[in-house]
Structure 1
Amino acid sequence: MAGALALVTGLTAPAQAGVTPAQAGVTPAPAVVSPSSGAPVSAANGAPVSAANDAPAVYGRAAYLMDAASGEVLFDKDGTERMPVASLTKTMTAYLVLRTAKPTDVVRIRPEDVAYAEDGGGTTADLRPGDRLTVGELLYGLMLPSGADAAHALARTYGPGVEGFVAKMNATARSLGMNDTHYVNADGLPTPGGDGYSTARDQAVLAAKALQVPLIKEVAGTRRHDLDATDEHRSYGWRNTNRLLGTPGAIGLKTGFTRAAGYCLAFAGESDGRVLVGVLLDESVSSRRFSTAEALLSWGSARQSA
């Protein structure tokens, strides 16, 4: 295969090592699903869905793979089915913040930002009340360890107020053509009033748009980010939860998990100047989402190069 994305075409999914569907709190999807066979059909955006019988096994409930530039749909398994997307929500948070704020703008962390993440049982960037961090620094805390505290601080600041920010998230989703998406917060945590929802297709559209923002692409592709202590904040060290990084050609984007959403992944890879973006939703085994994404990127790249 030509190009930097020299992945193993046809990679099969590993055994369910370490985590069972029951332990994950989700129901496993059917074992193997390929995209539509026969004549190509039209996707929601009018682009053709390629026919293929040799696609990798996909175990998650929904999956979508497309060319980021042309919108050509290469793989679609229930891509328009609405479901929770967990922390993939934070991609919209990052995208929306950077439409308003400068990376050098400073945000002061408040006790309610920290309490929100801790009380909600979300992953955190371990932010400290009183610390002052730039928007650019907070994006690493948002995207790498998937900090709900960072999401709350950014939404509170740039709504203004979390409710105002969420309203802007939904308006932005409509403007991007994400018509099957509804956000209820800036982080994807469950709420007493119900979870938000999206689709694999809508999240792929968002991924393609977000990766056009240089800082988001840089942050999402960073495996570890460290901040030395200053007069403004303590030291921080954040490691990316995306285990796809390090694979040749992989460029991000975001992991997610809740009991309702299962294990989710928005991913992207670049080969011969082309960028493919994809989304996996409601996978029952954490590690398998990364091997599946790797296989889909390899398969999609090979199809385009053929």
Structure 2
Amino acid sequence: MDRIDAMRAFVSVVIEGSFSNAATAMQLSPQLVSKYVSKLEERLDIRLLNRTTRKVSLTEAGTHYFEHAQQVLLSIDDMESKLGGFQQNPKGTLRISAPVSFALKHMAKLVTDFQTLYPSVNVDLQLNDRKVDIVEEGFDVALRIGQLKSSSLIAKQVAPVRVILCASPAYLDKYGVPSKPEDLKNHRYLHYSYMEKYGKEDIYQWLDTTNQPNSELSSNNGDLLVNAAVAGAGIALQPTFIASEALSKGALMMVLPDYEPETLGLYAVYAHRKLLPHKIRCFIDFIEGYYGSPPYWDESIQHL
């Protein structure tokens, strides 16, 4: 008896609810499915299923075996999918959703390098700060920034994302350099409304509501706020992948670096699939580590 086939038969019976339904799903006869499960129980010397004329149900041992069997079969399918991909070149259209500012600054070269390595893959890169529904909207991969909550999607971290307070030297010369969080209440604050999508309700969580800085300008676009900060409009809260160029040139300075918020993450998110298409697998493997550790946009400001 093939142990893996018997395991698949057992898992299918549990998922489909009966031997006949499992046989249909596996394109086997009900007799063969029943034989596989019986032989599996004999080999394990334990009953996995309670059988009646109307239904089957799991025994306590069957419940434990089912959980582990599912994991084993998924690992086998994933391994075979990866190995099979070595024998073929990925092709087709890869649909990617990505945040606007990040994609404009850091994805053109990545896509170019990816297509140089995999020329048969067409890339459809859609920029949107809205949280897209990958399955409903037909995306293969979405890049998301934040502290991701648990979901049915698979998420692989691509790079850490630092978030810092910054202002221009001219602004700080005029209004003073904050030395502690409470000093922010006397400053002009450039509010990044997209920060809520990053999983941060308010970056100034160490202040009570009466000490919040004044929000002189609010926008959902980080590039605009960085440009406003460079022009002396106030103190901005920004991811370093947007602000690093201005910081490295000295057009902006970090504010309260000792109170830097918790690092977020850039994630590649994709739907769980039994057999992941090779084009998606290749992209996930390609983007992992692409930006470096630390990311190249942070290397230029490490000394600041």
Q: TM-score, normalised by structure 2?
A: 0.22
Q: TM-score, normalised by structure 1?
A: 0.22
Structure with the larger helix share:
2
In terms of Rg, which structure is larger?
2
